[in-house]
Structure 1
Amino acid sequence: MINKAILVGNVGRDPEIRYFDNDQAVANFSLATTERSFKTRDGQEIPERTEWHNIVAWRGLAKLAENYIKKGTQLYIEGKIKTRSYDDANGVKKYATEIVADVIQLLGRKSDNDGSSTYPSQSGGQPASTSSAPRPPESNKVQNGPDKQPDFLSDDNGPEDDLPF
């Protein structure tokens, strides 16, 4: 089974960074992706539509977010879709869907980002490409691997399969 999200969009708010006792860091921020307007075959105009995604970045990617990402930054993100539940102050069960980032690449002009343009995780795993979406250069990618996630977030049942496509 595959659970992979690839997003290109603009950061909607400055990242919120939290540190834990064991010096682990996590960053949370929103990312807006926009589908441009278009006309259907029968001439109907479909308006532009923006989707907002909650992004979660751990460890090195959280530190990247702290140092280089701010509201308006254009990003390429690869990650996994995760849904979690919690009880609000009134005891009502709520659900939150998030993209847990494995790869973050800064896009746009270098002056917009005040630093290097690509940041992958520390795992070294190289996923196979099945999409024509823009791909960050493999040599500059910063990634977080599932082996680096805190135990309370990991639901890994074993190593990921290497697919031939």
Structure 2
Amino acid sequence: MESAINKVVLSGFAGADAEVKTVMNQKLAKVNLAVNESYKNSSGEEIKKVQWFNLTFWNAKADIAEAQIKKGTGLTIEGRLQTNTYDAKDGTKRYSFDIIVSEVTIRENEKQNAV
């Protein structure tokens, strides 16, 4: 049987300052990451699009996020994709996806004001 791989690498900009809290005696930080994409459609027109990703940092990584990640901070992260399921108010099943960050590089001299 083949081994499975769950690995995500993203590079973008923080949409807001890291939100930090404690969950079951562990530090947790949440950050939204904007990744800018562009492509040309069939008419040759350039289309720009922003993809948003939910990042989750635990413990020591959460300390780094709290101290260094502010709105517009350039980030490159590596982690794994986690799927979450919940019931909406209308009773339908909903899904959300988080990236559990294992490595983070903060791009010091790169900042974007409008994400």
| Fold match (TM-score > 0.5) | yes
Structure 1 spans left out of the alignment, 5+ residues: 113-165
Equivalent position SS for 2:64: helix
Match of 1:29 in 2: 31
> Matched residue pairs, number?
108
Equivalent position SS for 2:101: strand
2:19 paired residue among 16, 25, 34: 16
Equivalent position SS for 1:48: strand
1:83 & 1:51 partners in 2: Cα distance?
Answer: 17
Alignment partner of 1:101 is 2:93: no
Structure number with greater CO (CA < 8 Å, separation at least 6) is 2
How big is the alpha-carbon RMSD for the aligned residues of Structure 1 and Structure 2? 2.0
AA of the residue aligned to 2:13: N
* Structure holding more helix per residue: 1
1:1-165 to 2 correspondences below 5 Å: 1-22=4-25, 24-38=26-40, 44-109=44-109
Q: How far off its partner does 1:37 sit? A: 3.9
AA of the residue aligned to 2:75: L
Q: How far off its partner does 1:6 sit? A: 0.5
Q: How far off its partner does 1:92 sit? A: 3.0
| Larger-gyration structure (1/2) | 1
Q: How far off its partner does 1:18 sit? A: 1.0
